[in-house]
A and B are shown apart, each in its own frame.
Chain A
Amino acid sequence: MLEERGFSTVAIASVRPQAEKTRPPRALWTTSQLGRPLGEPGDAMFQRRVLLAALSLLVRTDGPVILEDFNEDPPGWLDTPRWRAPAQVGPTDPPETPGAWAVAFGAELSSLMPLWRAAQARCGRTTVGLSFQAPAAWPEFAARFLAGELPAVPELDTPALALRMLSDDIKALYGEAAQAEGSAPSARQIDTWFWRQTVAGRLLIALRAVAMVSENNALKTVGGRFFVPAYWLP
């Protein structure tokens, strides 16, 4: 659409079959994980090679359509054997009441705060901030959904959006804490830890179950489609 308006465009393509169907004027397919089109976090040279490969297509004259494959696999796919998950502090059995969930989640969050602060010092930023709530408020807010309420946040339009943004913030804080020290874990290591070993992961799965039977259609949609990746459901 932008090429039609007179601009040269080049797309980084994450899924080759989609690029083959869409047929953009110029595209560079990479084998990077979905969500990392430029490749490796903290690896400026790898990102630069991807970027240069993409930009070089702008001056090619043998299109349309140009679809090139980037010829390097990013190393971040591999697990990091030396990485150790943050210590588990939560109960091994799921809490039975909303209040108990709040207590267990709050305790786990508190235990992760030093790591989260270390991650912010290391990366110079945090990606937490979508929910418009401080972490200290998260356990009680989540527990209210478990109790069948529909709490809202003034800055967000609906309870469904508030819950979804809360889940993004929870995952962001845990993801950052997991990357605070030592060698970076793979995304798979972080996800396995989060969804299988933390109270927060089990809390999101419990919230999903509540959302899916809600009479609030927006909440039901969020719970069913936009909350827990299907491959992490128990």
Chain B
Amino acid sequence: MARLEDIPQPSRDAVVAAPCPTFETQPFVGGPPLAQRRVAIVSSAALIRRGDKPFPFGSAECRFLPASIPAGDILTSHVSINFDRAGFQRDLNVVYPIDRLRELAAEGVIGGVAETHFTVMGSTDPAGMTATADQIAGQLRQERIDSILLSPV
């Protein structure tokens, strides 16, 4: 959609009017060539493992997604009803491109794929997510990850 004219009303106006966070600093972290980068996914689709409780509405929590979870056990519990789920139903990779990352790693395009990925509930105010960011950063350091793909829904 996400051309504005493709988003049906009243969702279009809501998207445009949605409060967006601003940040006082503009960090910009460099790194090695792509072939040496180790990449993790942070998805805002509120993904859960089958059998786990869904994200509560407005939750600022983060959940870890071990890369070993089978695709059939990953569900989305995002609160929004205004995005398409048919694509996700057919192919997990449109939201959580784990297979595509693995292929790039196998070909040497990137240096590696994290053993742990991360998911949060999109539309949550990041001002309340400092602890969540710290939690993610701690795990990333443990796995020597230097690069992150942020995948929205």
Chain A interface (Cβ < 8 Å from any Cβ of B): 1-18, 21-25, 29-42, 44, 47-48, 51-52, 54-56, 58-59, 61, 63-65, 76-77, 119, 123-127, 129-130, 155-157, 161, 165, 168, 171-172, 175-176, 178-179, 184-185, 187, 190, 226-231
Given the contacts A10-B150, A24-B150, A34 and B54 also touching, CB distance less than 8 Å? no
- Contact across chains for B10 and A12 when beta carbons are under 8 A apart: no
Q: A8-B146, A12-B151, A226-B79 are in contact. List 15 more A-B contacts (CB 8 A).
A: A4-B27, A9-B150, A10-B148, A16-B4, A22-B22, A36-B94, A38-B94, A38-B95, A41-B93, A58-B147, A64-B26, A123-B90, A156-B53, A184-B90, A231-B10
Distance of B33 from chain A, by nearest CB (Å): 6
Contact residues, B56-88 vs A (CB, 8 A) = 56-57, 70-72, 75-77, 79-88
Which residue from B3, B20, B89 sits with its C-beta under 8 Å from A18?
B20
Given A22-B21, A165-B54: A33 touches B90 (CB 8 Å cut-off): no
| Contact A59 to B57, CB < 8 A, known contacts A34-B84, A35-B153 | no
Scan residues 1-18 of chain B and give those whose CB is less than 8 A from a CB of chain A: 1-4, 6-11, 15-16, 18
Chain A, Cβ-Cβ closest to B70: A125
Chain B residues in the interface with A (C-beta under 8 A)? 1-4, 6-11, 15-16, 18, 20-23, 25-31, 33-34, 37, 39, 42, 50-51, 53-54, 56-57, 70-72, 75-77, 79-95, 97, 99-101, 103-104, 109-110, 126, 129-130, 133-134, 136-137, 140, 145-153
Closest residue to A3 on the B side, CB-wise? B27
Q: Is the CB of A55 within 8 A of B2?
A: no
CB neighbours of A44 from chain B (8 A) = 93, 99-100, 103
Q: How far is the CA of A184 from the CA of B133 in the complex (A)?
A: 38
Known contacts A4-B27, A47-B100: A77-B6 contact under CB 8 Å = yes
Q: Are B89 and A39 in touch, CB under 8 angstroms?
A: no
Contact, CB under 8 Å: B85 / A175:
yes
Give me the 8 closest cross-chain CB pairs, A-B, nearest first.
A35-B83, A125-B72, A41-B91, A35-B84, A41-B90, A34-B83, A11-B150, A21-B20
Determine if B100 and A35 form an interchain contact, defined as CB atoms under 8 angstroms apart: no
* A187 and B22 form a contact (CB under 8 A): no
Complexed CA–CA distance, A157 and B148 (Å): 33
B106 to chain A minimum Cβ distance, whole angstroms, is 12
Contact of A21 with B87 in the complex, beta carbons under 8 Å: no
- How far apart are A159's CB and chain B's nearest CB, in angstroms? 14
Residues of B within 8 A of A10 (CB): 147-150
Please name the residue on chain B nearest to A22 by beta carbon.
Answer: B20
Closest residue of B by beta carbon distance from A124: B72
Other-chain residue from B26, B85, B110, B137 in contact with A127 (beta carbon distance below 8 A): B85
Inter-chain CA distance A230–B14, complex, in Å, is: 11
Partner of A226 from the list B23, B81, B86, B133 (CB cut-off 8 Å) is: B81
Partner of B1, one of A9, A14, A64: A14
